């Protein structure tokens, strides 16, 4: 494993993504259900983007599954799920989560870096979907990962990747040190992309769609206690205007690709 991914792994082992989103008994069904509920309430665009229901009996590969919230949705929809995750702590939590919800027989989990995907998978796996949400901008080599992903795809594979947007409300605030961190403070490896970068980075792929979504509108202290109170400038903003801002300045670039 290269040096940057090692540093990254340490970070994600210390704070697996969304691990504090429930105060219920750690690793219980209630704990995981609350984590899922929070995720899709705060980030409803994930369900539209991932389109979980579309993959019944289909082969889905997820890169960087974290604590397995989206994995469970794919599995609930009847997908044959394959996933790879760098952090061994996140891997262990997802393994337990999948066992708890009795989806073990439909899933294959790998604990390794995405840069080694081709050690485990080939195009013969016939993936209908290769999915990665909020991960590859943390990898030490996006180019290497994309080369492998491209090789794993066939003409029917859909690839859906979320990367952080440079042209975003969050990024502008971050540059001015005005950012309020709802998550991921001090993350060691991170990149941001704009629409031109996307054309360059994915030049081998057919870019089917690129959408921008997600501005975080809540007060952090209350959000951490699962209370959703908007900051005044968002509370009084017309919904149409907020949606327009999200489509133009959202922090999530939702990229859909084919071969
Ligand atoms: C922001 S979290 C997102 C997790 C999950 N996709 C979600 O949306 O909740 C980033 C995840 O990517 C994983 N990750 C970072 N670099 C990786 C790499 N090179 N290969 C595989 N996973 C990686 C981290 O361990 C972490 O679980």
Q: How far is the CA of 221 from the centre of ligand 1 (A)?
A: 25
pLDDT category at 201 given cuts 50, 70, 90 is: very high
Mean pLDDT for the stretch of residues 254-258? 98
Q: Atom of ligand 1 at shortest distance to CA of 133?
A: 6
Distance, in Å, from the CA atom of 77 to the CA atom of 58, rounded to the nearest integer, reads 10
Q: What percent of the chain has pLDDT over 70?
A: 96
Mean pLDDT for the stretch of residues 39-67? 97
Mean pLDDT for the stretch of residues 110-124? 96
Q: How far is CA 163 from the centre of its chain?
A: 8
Mean pLDDT for the stretch of residues 46-54? 97
Q: What is the CATH number of the domain that holds 10?
A: 3.40.50.150
Nearest 5°: the CA angle 203, 208, 209 is 105
Structure tokens of 206?
A: 């057919």
Domain count, the chain: 1
Mean pLDDT for the stretch of residues 151-168? 96
pLDDT at 185: 67
Q: Atom of ligand 1 at shortest distance to CA of 184?
A: 1
Structure tokens of 26?
A: 């750690």
pLDDT at 156: 95
Range of the domain at 50: 3-258
Q: How far is the CA of 137 from the centre of ligand 1 (A)?
A: 9
Q: Atom of ligand 1 at shortest distance to CA of 140?
A: 19
Residues enclosing ligand 1, CB less than 6 A?
5, 8, 12, 17-18, 64-66, 69, 84-87, 90, 113-115, 133-135, 138-139
pLDDT at 5: 86
Does residue 61 register a pLDDT over 80?
yes
Q: How many residues does the chain have?
A: 259
Does residue 179 register a pLDDT over 70?
no
pLDDT at 181: 64
Among 99, 66, 100, 58, which residue's Cα sits nearest to residue 83? 66
Does residue 109 register a pLDDT over 70?
yes
pLDDT category at 247 given cuts 50, 70, 90 is: very high
pLDDT at 14: 92
pLDDT at 173: 86
Distance, in Å, from the CA atom of 75 to the CA atom of 66, rounded to the nearest integer, reads 15
Structure tokens of 107?
A: 């899933």
User: What average pLDDT is seen over the chain?
Assistant: 94
pLDDT category at 176 given cuts 50, 70, 90 is: confident
Q: How far is the CA of 16 from the centre of ligand 1 (A)?
A: 9
pLDDT at 191: 85
Q: Whose CA is nearest to atom 9 of ligand 1?
A: 66
């Amino acid at each position: 494993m290269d040096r940057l991914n090692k540093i990254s792994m340490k970070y994600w082992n210390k704070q697996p993504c969304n691990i504090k989103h429930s105060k219920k008994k750690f690793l219980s069904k209630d704990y995981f259900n609350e984590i899922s509920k929070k995720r899709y309430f705060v980030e409803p665009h994930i369900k539209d983007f991932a389109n979980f229901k579309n993959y019944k009996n289909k082969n889905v590969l997820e890169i960087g599954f974290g604590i397995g919230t989206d994995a469970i949705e794919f599995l609930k929809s009847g997908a044959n799920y394959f996933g790879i995750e760098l952090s061994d702590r996140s891997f262990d939590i997802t393994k337990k989560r999948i066992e708890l919800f009795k989806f073990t027989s439909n899933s294959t989990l790998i604990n390794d870096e995405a840069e080694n995907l081709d050690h485990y998978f080939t195009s013969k796996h016939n993936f209908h979907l290769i999915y990665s949400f909020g991960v590859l901008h943390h990898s030490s080599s996006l180019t290497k990962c994309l080369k492998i992903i491209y090789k794993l795809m066939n003409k029917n594979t859909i690839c859906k990747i979320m990367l952080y947007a440079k042209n975003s409300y969050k990024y502008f605030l971050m540059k001015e040190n005005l950012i309020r961190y709802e998550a991921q403070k001090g993350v060691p490896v991170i990149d941001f992309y704009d629409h031109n970068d996307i054309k360059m980075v994915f030049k081998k792929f057919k870019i089917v769609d690129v959408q921008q979504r997600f501005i975080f509108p809540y007060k952090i202290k209350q959000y951490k206690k699962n209370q959703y109170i908007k900051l005044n400038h968002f509370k009084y903003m017309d919904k149409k205007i907020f949606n327009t801002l999200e489509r133009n300045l959202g922090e999530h670039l939702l990229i859909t690709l084919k071969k």
